Amino acid sequence: MVTDTFPPVNYIPVPSAIEGIEVYRPAPAQSQAHRPVVQFNCPQCGANTAYSAADSGLTCTHCGFYEPPELAVVGTRAERFEFTVETVQRSAQGWGEARKELQCQSCAAYSTISADSLTHTCIFCGSNQVIQHAAPQDVLRPRFLVPFKIEAEACHDIARQWMGQSWMTPRSLRRAATIGQFTGIYLPFWTFETVTKAHWQAEVGHTKTERYYENGEWRTRTKTVWEWESGQVNLPLKDLVIPGTNRVSALLLPQVKNYHLDALAPYEPKYLAGLQAQAYDVPLETAWEQARHQMREQTRQACYDQATSSKIRNFHMNLDFDQEGWRYILLPMYLTVYQFDNKRFQVMINGQTGAIAGQRPVDWMVLWLAVAALLAPGLTVGVIGFLLLLLRGTGFPIAAFGFILVVIGLLITFHLVTTAMRLDDA
């Protein structure tokens, strides 16, 4: 191709081995400049500032200087991104500030802390076997987050009330409520949206009653008549939240992850001042597969709802995903790990709503005493009835009543033991 300009656009000169000969080569691609890292220091005394959950401002823990918030809430209108390689490549990277990464040698979890933090304990398992190093800046930067609204001081009251809700918890733990220090952390999440377009076909059964004549009299009977039905579903699905971490309990997290995404705000490093944060360890592709599975099931249910009967067989569905979008966000959580009777238990509190979930030890001695109290009346009545039946032949009703009481006691016992195992092993 002939060009009128010399040197051509995007070419730069390079040293020539022959005098009098100019040599040019293509200019190297300009890499996207990273946002400079920043520190949040007090303008009055130079000490560290910390994020305030009460009003989203920054407060100096040394001299009391206060910087009012500049909160720009965008909510569910927060920008989403298409599933393209170019979109991911253009996304900003790093935290936007200097941070340290903690690597736990016990549970292999990673988390980041402020560059000047002195934390030496893993927030996920409570171990102090951690290694500190500079946090990598080659991960996707969150675009939005939900700021903390619950203050750390309120966590103990929430936990104390929650701990006292179960009579199965050891009395000493309920009195002391020694759950330990709650640590605020921003956990990574992915949100997805799409419009599913499905065409379905299935046999749908309808119950019909018919009369027939047999043995000289008219009778009725019911039968199921199967007919083919089909339909189409266009289902918009928005803000499906998928965890970006595998380091918190999969049983506990669903109990507290009902965040109000209308409080989403653009990510700013200042929100992380004095707090921990975790980068995602569940990549975008893996999270999207999990989301697609949930979306597929929701669409399947929408197809079932279109059928004229709940009796369905030979169901087939052709499904397409349209207008796919994703966001990488941070959501606030308080975590703590406490130890009781040489066993560790994890508790988490939603940093926006105050919802709590966690593991609670069970006083099995108290539980078995309760089980004995449940079964004792039935066993006693049953034995009395059995003896009367042997001696006088009149104790059958009493024995039957005792048997019913035992069955009821066993059912309640099964429920109590199941509940206790969930408390202890969540």
Q: What token pair was written down for 250?
A: 């999969």
Confidence (pLDDT) at 187:
94
Confidence (pLDDT) at 104:
83
Task: Let me know the angle formed at the C-alpha of 224 by 221 and 228, rounded to the nearest 5 degrees.
Answer: 155
* DSSP-based three-state secondary structure for 91: coil
145 exposed, middle or buried (CB, 10 Å; 0-12, 13-18, 19+)? Answer: buried
Q: For every one of its 426 residues, what pLDDT tens digit does the chain have, with 9 covering 90 and above?
A: 444 555 565 666 766 656 666 666 666 544 433 333 344 456 555 555 555 555 555 566 555 555 555 555 555 555 555 555 455 555 666 676 667 788 888 888 878 877 666 666 788 887 777 777 777 777 788 889 999 999 988 998 898 888 877 777 777 666 555 577 888 999 999 999 999 999 999 999 999 988 888 888 888 888 999 999 999 999 999 999 999 998 888 888 999 989 999 999 998 888 887 788 888 889 888 999 999 999 999 999 999 999 999 999 999 999 999 888 889 999 999 998 887 777 888 889 999 999 999 888 877 888 888 888 888 888 888 888 888 878 777 778 888 888 888 899 889 888 888 877 777 654
Where in the chain are the domains? 71-191+237-278+330-358, 364-425
| E strand segments, 286-353 | 311-340, 343-350
Confidence (pLDDT) at 237:
94
Closest CA relative to residue 136, chosen from 100, 104, 108: 100
User: How many other CB atoms are there within 10 angstroms of residue 138's CB atom?
Assistant: 8
Residue the block writes with tokens 């009481």: 405
Pairing type for strands 183-214 and 276-277 reads parallel
Q: How far is CA 152 from the centre of its chain?
A: 20
Closest CA relative to residue 340, chosen from 171, 184, 167, 183: 171
Residues whose CB is less than 8 angstroms from the CB of residue 299 and which lie 6 or more positions away in sequence, other chains included: 196, 198, 233, 235, 317, 319
Confidence (pLDDT) at 1:
45
In degrees to the nearest 10, what's the CA dihedral of 171, 174, 178, 179? Answer: 120
Q: What token pair was written down for 33?
A: 């400049």
Give 241-265 as a 3 state SS string: EEECCCCCCCCCHHHHCCCCHHHCE
CB 53 within 8 A of CB 112: no
**pTM for this one?**
0.69
Distance CA 61, CA 275 (A): 13
Give 159-223 as a 3 state SS string: HHHHHCCCCCCCHHHHHHCCCCCCEEEEEEEEEEEEEEEEEEEEEEEEEEEEEEEECCEEEEEEE
In degrees to the nearest 10, what's the CA dihedral of 152, 157, 161, 163? Answer: 60
